[in-house]
Amino acid sequence: MKNRVVLLLLGLFWGVLGAGAQSQSQVIQSMFTTGTKLLASDSQGNLYVSGYFNRELELPIARLDEQRGKYFLLKYSPDLVVQKVWQFSQPFKDLLVKDTSIYILGQFSGTIQLDTLTLHAKGDYETYLAKLNSQGNVQWIRQLSSRQDALAGGLASDSAGNILVSGSFVNNLEIGQTTLNAIELKNIYLAKFNPQGDLQWLRQATGGSNPLTGIFVWGLSTDSEGNVLIAGSVIGRAWFGKTSMVSSQEVFRGEGAAYNNDIFLAKYNAQGELAWAKVIAQNAEVQDIVADTNGCIYLTGHFRGSPNLSKGLGQSTFEDLTLQTTIADNMQPDEKLYLAKYSPLGNLLWVKKAEGKGNSRGISLAFSARKQKVYVSGYFGEELKLGQTHLQKLNQNPKIDIFLASFQPNGAFDWAIAGQGEDSEEVSDCEVDTEGRVYLIGKFKKQMQFGELRLSTAGGNSNGFLIRK
């Protein structure tokens, strides 16, 4: 089957739908479903938002029809006026803007066409990295191929304009004339390209001696010195070249031992040499990672702790600190948000956890060099307690609410705001621009209150939103 990715420049539409003294919002309104997924900003303060729609999307000067592709990319000016719109027939996994260039990371099977270029998959799934200019014209595409699967993970860039790509593969991975071969069942890759699309280096980590074990990459970032940071899950034993690690184990009475889902963190220098790789937390998961101007590393995600009823139920370990989650009435540990900070050497500086009943998760991180603040977005079920702030869901419906929170580099809590409505809300990403303004995207249904902002959809379906705090 041939999948076509079509870029269609539509022009200006939409304005600010809601505004407060410090906050602004926009809703991608439609009688049908819309949503926003990825967020990026450039050095001029422009904002780029990707998302999707169903059936059709009526705009003041144009109409989008899903037959030409139901995925879009919007460019907003710093005052939140949409300047450009591109339409795609396929979603992409990650988005990055560097200077005036737009980078998109995608995944496909069969055949895909991007602009005038056509790619053919050798295996089941393959990854592509595409560079677009400010008008949306493709400058180059690099294909990450495999005889089986080459899956897309994340994007990052360094101060020199180089592009980093992470992901996973099965069997083998081919980038041009460079090939990696799978060693264990699960294999992750890290590739560095210069701005011209030339591969600078390619690295591999491997794990998984059986289907229940393996290594998985979930977060990718760079620091101000060009070092590359990756974080993810390790179950069982894994290898970063000659450096090995192994996750913790649980011994269940009468059932034997099982490996836990632990978090790994690894650092490469700008030349692709491994500085260190280690297990940093037990019985926990990571969702996002970001570095600050001093090379320190922030991670967010959630932990449920040990499932062992006879020892340590609901406990997770971050180095020598033990975190305890709440236990539900059915004796199952709740998921609980954490925010952790590590030194440039990968040593724990502090870790904060959410309090309150029910589940909570960290989804996305952003660091403001201008304000020296770290922002975490995510969701919670029943209640979320951070510092002296106590957020509770509005009713007893089985739904989730979203939040955005600010912390200082020493771990001190600043503030948190909930996004709440009649139905469940979803948060996808957060971002900070050059002026230190923080943005949040996702979707909601019918109505949502976020601080002083009140957002409404056009009908009964979910619509995407963009909020600036």
Q: Which of 144, 139, 135, 140 is nearest to 165 (CA)?
A: 144
**pLDDT, tens digit, 9 for 90 and up, residues 143-185:** 999 999 999 999 999 999 999 999 999 999 999 999 999 999 9
pLDDT computed for residue 15 by the predictor: 33
The mean-pLDDT minimum among 13-22, 132-141, 452-461 falls in: 13-22
Dihedral sign for Cα atoms in the order 213, 218, 224, 226: positive
Rounded average pLDDT over 396-424: 91
What is the rounded distance in angstroms from the CA atom of residue 138 to the CA atom of residue 156? 19
Spell out the domains of the chain, with CATH numbers in brackets. 92-433 (2.120.10)
Task: Retrieve residue 66's tokens.
Answer: 């899903």
Element (H, E) at 300: strand 297-303
Task: Retrieve residue 65's tokens.
Answer: 């029809």
pLDDT at 197 over 60: yes
- 3-state SS, 57-79, equals EECCCCEEEHHHCCEEEEEECCC
Task: Please name the residues in contact with 79: beta carbons below 8 A apart, sequence gap of 6 or more.
Answer: none
Phi, psi of 432 (to 5 degrees): -120, 135
**pLDDT, tens digit, 9 for 90 and up, residues 283-321:** 999 999 999 999 999 999 999 998 887 678 999 999 999
| CA 267-269-273 angle, 5° bins | 90
User: Quick one: pLDDT band at residue 460, thresholds 50, 70, 90?
Assistant: confident
* Mean pLDDT of all residues belonging to the chain: 90
pLDDT at 5 over 60: no
**pLDDT, tens digit, 9 for 90 and up, residues 86-142:** 888 889 999 999 989 999 999 999 988 887 788 888 889 999 999 999 998 999 999
Rounded average pLDDT over 360-369: 97
Q: Are 346 and 278 spatial neighbours (Cβ–Cβ below 8 Å)? A: yes
Query: Over the range 352-367, which residues count as b (16 or more CB within 10 Å of their CB) and which as e?
Result: bbbbbebbbbbbbbbb
Give the gyration radius of the chain's Cα atoms.
22
pLDDT computed for residue 19 by the predictor: 36
Q: Are 191 and 165 spatial neighbours (Cβ–Cβ below 8 Å)? A: yes
